[in-house]
A and B are shown apart, each in its own frame.
Chain A
């Protein structure tokens, strides 16, 4: 149980000698990622500021290479912190060895010691901390009981299934009651069904052990379901920090809006936002929509937002659930390209004058056969759930 504070954390991976030589030879050679490259090296994480409260469950999420695992590894002490300060429970931890940080970590590939039994795996950290045999036995058996792995204690990791290994890895981590529990994509090696099960297990486990959790994943569903707060990262920068509801309802920028939510939010680049007669009007693919008072309120002063011309270019964003099929013959023209039957709902992938639009429509009271590839439809967008982003900065205009 502890508070974790990350203050202006930065991680630079210095160039190796070979890379320096290569850079001199071929300056034009580009790195395949968008990370910032300075004289010192590649900047994997920067300007990382986060206060994690005691017993909070924080999820770091983002696409691969965004720096989320690096950040976690810096908290664990497996990577040096290039700049900034890390505090755990009020104590600066930058130069403290991993074993003295009182943390536990679950790795993606579990990292169970293959030559030890489950019992020995779980006892290892306690043994290293010189606990007595009786204490070790007590702790291991308690942890095994909680995770339902008591019958497996004498087995070697080789003889366990993926889900069992996952449990053992978690058991090994929390057997010593750490201040902070770190998890690096712990579910990504499991199949979909098992992943759902284990996700529920983690939620249950959290209630039982009640400590600070920092969890890294690239899966936004995991982030949404597990986290008290989510930290969304891209190219080494934090994009947004907020509760699952906040980041879903009020994404700060285009990246967050696109990253959170399945299927992805529909974007309409080249849309126009106008302010006239005290009303906001959005023009999307030739159709105009008046923004309701609630959205207009969040946009703020029209003169300020739209400037002297009263018009500006924006990227409009609408989630697939907020795209509805028009029944009055008006709306945006679209043609179905792919219709995915999901049971109680249908995912329609459509083309609206060259823009890809996805809609989720309930199948109840709907003629499913009509919704096949090639069908022409008119679409309405629910304006109360519309997001607007600056065309250049990609920041959200809806505050």
Chain B
């Protein structure tokens, strides 16, 4: 009986492993392909792009990205926009989420419903009007065009509200009796209680703005104001694409995102599983 259970267990383990392995390969292949091509010469990327091991290993792509383009300027732009947005969104989302979860005021549910409703409208629908407003207030071709419209993030508010609702009422009441004001309660009691949500939201937001291609493309025109994802288009001309440089740039762009994920992955997974992405 024990042997049978063992074999059955073993078989199912092998099966699960095989499925996961196959799925992992499908997910990982594009990244390996990208890395492999970033180490090939431009000619080789064009003639033999599918070969994983480069015939002639070269760092030309990386050198070109780092020396022939204002890469570090773009990196600075990307870091500034992404970090600024992430910090502001974390602040506004936790604060507004807490208010929606814990304060009673007239029209609260209606306001929240309106906010959630905006989540259902695709960004493309408001793209033109947003562009006109940004242009009108003179923010076209400014990094602020990518920052100011992002101050409030409905998903973040929603996520934080869900987490704030889970905080026991007595904890907040106890702090109130202990002499904490509303902001002190928010800062010293609520924020530490919703750390998993903050971790998850930080990663979501970071990824969103780090990888954002469309908005920088719409609002930025000068080369020195571009962000990293736009750099990918920098190496493409109308007639040809420098695949080696593009892949090298892609690989470089990925590094900070990977670092952020590795640092926060525990909280990220906790945040995902706790919310169930309700």
The interface residues of chain A lying within 8 Å CB-to-CB of B9 are none
Question: B276 within 8 Å of A by Cβ?
Answer: no
Is A25's CB within 8 Å of the partner chain B?
no
Inter-chain contacts of A125 with B (CB < 8 A): 177-179
On whether the beta carbons of A124 and B178 are closer than 8 Å, the reply is yes
A129 / chain B contacts, CB cutoff of 8 Å:
179
Contact A111 B173 (CB under 8 A): yes
Nearest-Cβ distance from residue A75 to partner chain B, whole angstroms: 11
CA distance A183 to B180 in the complex (A): 20
Query: CA–CA, A105 to B178, complex, Å?
Result: 9
- Does A15 interact with chain B (Cβ within 8 Å)? no
**How many chain A residues have a CB neighbour from B under 8 Å?**
21
Complex contact A107–B180 (CB within 8 A): no
**B180 touching A111 by the CB < 8 A rule?**
no
Contact call B168/A98, Cβ cutoff below 8 A: no
8 A Cβ contacts from B189-216 to A: 189, 192-193
- Interface assignment of B184: CB less than 8 Å from any CB of chain A: yes
CA distance A178 to B176 in the complex (A): 14
A99 at interface by CB-CB < 8 Å: yes
Interface residues of A in 85-130 (CB under 8 A from B): 97-99, 103-105, 107-109, 111, 113-115, 124-125, 128-129
In the complex where A107-B170, A109-B170, A111-B171 touch, is A76 in contact with B193 (Cβ < 8 A)? Answer: no
B148-181 CB contact bits vs A (8 Å, 1 = yes)?
0000000000000000000010110111111111
Report A-chain residues with C-beta under 8 Å of the C-beta of B192.
113, 115
Q: Does A262 contact B (CB under 8 A)?
A: no
**In the assembly, what is the distance between CA of A102 and CA of B201, in Å?**
39
Query: Does A78 sit within 8 A of B, measured CB to CB?
Result: yes
List chain B residues, Cβ under 8 A from A77. 176-177
Would B177 and A99 count as touching, CB distance under 8 A?
yes
Contact B174 A105 (CB under 8 A): yes
Q: Is the CB of A99 within 8 A of B176?
A: yes
> Contact at B170–A128, with CB atoms within 8 Å?
no
Are A104 and B177 within 8 A (Cβ)?
Answer: yes
Chain A residues whose CB sits within 8 angstroms of the CB of B173 once the complex forms = 76, 78, 98, 105, 107, 111
* CB-based contact A111/B174 at 8 Å: yes
A116 to chain B, nearest CB (A): 8
Asked if A113 contacts B176 (CB within 8 A), the reply is: no
CB 8 Å contact bits of A297-324 with B (1 = contact, 0 = none): 0000000000000000000000000000
Partner of A113, one of B171, B179, B181, B184: B171
Measured CA separation A172–B189 after assembly (Å): 16
A108 to chain B, nearest CB (A): 8
How far, in angstroms, from A247 to B228 measured CA to CA in the complex? 79
Residues of A within 8 A of B180 (CB): 99, 124, 128
Residue of A nearest to B109 (CB): A17
- Given the contacts A125-B179, A129-B179, A114 and B174 also touching, CB distance less than 8 Å: no
Mark each residue of chain B from 91 to 116: 1 if its CB lies under 8 Å from any CB of chain A, else 0.
00000000000000000000000000
Q: How long is the Cα–Cα vector from A97 to B184 in the complex, in angstroms?
A: 15
Give the residue name and chain of the A residue nearest to B176 (CB): A98
A388 to B53, CA, bound (A): 100
With a cutoff of 8 Å between Cβ atoms, the chain A residues found around residue B176 in the complex are: 77-78, 97-99
Q: In the complex, which of the residues A105, A108, A113, A114 contacts B177, with contact meaning CB atoms closer than 8 Å?
A: A105
Task: Tell me, rounded to whole Å, the shortest Cβ–Cβ distance linking A22 to chain B.
Answer: 16
Q: Are A124 and B177 in contact (CB under 8 A)?
A: no
Q: How far is the CA of A104 from the CA of B174 in the complex (A)?
A: 9
Distance of A107 Cα from B189 Cα, bound (Å): 16
Kindly provide the distance from the CB of A263 to the nearest chain B CB, expressed in whole angstroms: 33
A113: chain B residues at CB < 8 Å are 171, 174-175, 189, 192
A111 to B173, CA, bound (A): 9
Min CB distance B254 to A, Å, is 34
Q: Is the CB of A76 within 8 A of B177?
A: yes
**B80 CB to closest chain A CB, in angstroms?**
31
A78–B184 Cα distance when bound, in Å, is 17
A104 to B175 alpha-carbon distance, docked (Å):
10
Whether B179 and A99, one on each chain, are in contact in the complex, defined by CB atoms closer than 8 angstroms, is yes
Docked-complex contact A99 and B193, CB < 8 angstroms? no
Q: Which residue of B lies closest to A120 (CB)?
A: B188
Smallest CB separation, B100 vs chain A (Å): 17
Q: Which residues of B contact A115 (CB under 8 A)?
A: 192-193
A residues less than 8 Å from B193 (CB atoms): 114-115
Query: Chain B nearest CB: distance from A284 CB in Å?
Result: 48
Q: Which of A104, A109, A128 is in CB contact (< 8 Å) with B184?
A: A128
Q: Whole-angstrom distance between the alpha carbons of A252 and B171 in the complex?
A: 38
Can you report 7 A-B residue pairs in the complex whose CB atoms are below 8 A from each other?
A76-B177, A77-B177, A105-B174, A105-B177, A128-B178, A128-B179, A172-B178
A contact set with B: CB distance below 8 Å: 76-78, 97-99, 103-105, 107-109, 111, 113-115, 124-125, 128-129, 172
Sample of 17 more A-B contacts, CB < 8 Å, known A99-B181, A111-B170, A113-B171: A76-B173, A77-B176, A97-B176, A98-B176, A98-B177, A99-B178, A99-B179, A105-B174, A111-B168, A111-B171, A111-B173, A113-B175, A113-B192, A115-B192, A124-B188, A128-B180, A128-B184
Those 6 A-B pairs whose CB atoms lie nearest each other, nearest first: A128-B179, A125-B178, A111-B170, A115-B192, A99-B179, A111-B174
